[in-house]
Amino acid sequence: MFFRSYFDSRLAHMSYVVGCQKTGEAIVIDPGRQIEVYQEIAKSEGLHLSAIAETHIHADYVSGAREMAEKLGVHLYVSDEGGPDWKYEYVKDYPHTLLKDGDQFKIGNIRFDVMHTPGHTPESISFVLTDEGGGSRVPMGIFTGDFVFVGDIGRPDLLEKAAKVEGTAESGAKDMFASLKKFKELPDHLQVWPAHGAGSACGKSLGAVPMSTVGYEKINNWALQDMSEADFVKQLLEGQPEPPTYFARMKRINKEGVELRRDPETLDKFTGEELGGSKLLVDVRAAKEFKDSHAKGALNIPLNKSFSTWSGWLLDGANDVVLIGSEADAKEAMRALQTVGVDDVIGFTDTEAAIAKNGADSYEEISPEALAPLLEKDEVVLIDVRNQTEWEEGHIEGARHLMLGHLEDRLDEVGKDRPIVMQCQSGARSAIAMSVMQRAGFSNVKNLTGGFSGWEKKQLPVTS
């Protein structure tokens, strides 16, 4: 048997290629949208990609399942659990098998046993792998999707908070409690192969180690300890991070079927009149470069590990996106945007051309020492753009909490009668927020150097 994992650090997403070396067949578990990586892995091992299997309808990234079915002719193995609202609609156009609890399927001599593990979502299933080609009669591991992570479990509140399906958070938590009883009955030696690692919004405390075992999780995972259902539900629902708003759209896209991607290599460079009109300029340069000089009206989302997540938040449903940066960065950014369903990227440009067409802008920073007396005199408005849990753990007294992902929708709550200071934990998210504010017409705005951490280091007062 061949086994290879692939980790997309921008999405904290883990997918897997499993192949039977005797028959040359291979399957991808929970594929991402950049399907070329799986083709390269299979080709390097002399394997043929013949199938994909998904643990559930994903909400945090665009699945590569439909694209692989269209371009590579793979067979789709997907859930048939969860009721009529949780069915894959696009699979009718491709060879597929609908799976229920207790079903089996094989790729070559590798057997997959299906477990229905609802909680994160109603249709969630897990796959227990047994390598019969290697002569084994016992299973090797389990693909848990967003059911069990290393040190955590999938959150059940996304449907209610992101997709606005009322009443599903508590019922999902109770389903999860029941599903974990099945997990506890599995052999301790089974390896656990989850779909996400640390940094994913699909849980609240995912471990940084990519894989685990059932036995280790029984000992160390908080959710697998002895407790009542009521205590479990309460603990699971408390402290979950804000679900990105684009999750609802991802769920719909992956259910109905996403359009095929445009090749980033065909991205056009704009230099003049193409930059006018209602184009949405997205500058992917580092925050410091953007601060010193940028085109008026541009959003700054630096091309780093958080790029996909914040693009999903801030560009949800965006049209006519023009990227500002080098050609290489623009193409990399376009690929990352495609993973969160931002497909309407029409071109890229450099900073000079964007400034020539739209005019130049910049912004200033302010130190904690300079901010403190202004706050005390109520001469500035301080906006904290961190997550709710960060805010509750501690914040600067007098600050207003407007989380970055919701900032643009709440700007009508911010007046222009006083100077404004933006603040996060380190200064990175508030730098993105600076571009949101400037684009919305707020000119008297500064960024707090070092953010909340810098404020604390200066031993300035905080509250919670």
Q: Would you please indicate which residues are annotated as catalytic (active-site) residues? A: 424
Contacts of 135 (CB under 8 A, 6+ apart): none
Other C-beta atoms lying within 10 Å of the C-beta of residue 104: 12
Contact 416, 456 (CB under 8 A): no
Q: Rounded to the nearest 5 degrees, what angle is found at the Cα of 250, between the Cα atoms of 244 and 252?
A: 130
Q: Which residues contact 429 (CB under 8 A, 6 or more apart)?
A: 310, 385, 386, 404
Angle between helix axes 428-439 and 307-314 (nearest 10 degrees) is 30
Amino acid at 9: S
| Token output for 48 | 């043929």
8 A C-beta contact, residue 359 and residue 296: yes
Question: Which stretches within 33-164 are classed as H helix?
Answer: 36-44, 65-72, 158-161
Distance, CA of 18 to chain centre? 24
Asked if 24 and 89 count as a contact pair (C-beta separation under 8 A), the reply is no
Secondary structure element (H or E) that encloses residue 307, with its range: helix 307-314
- 3 state SS of 87: coil
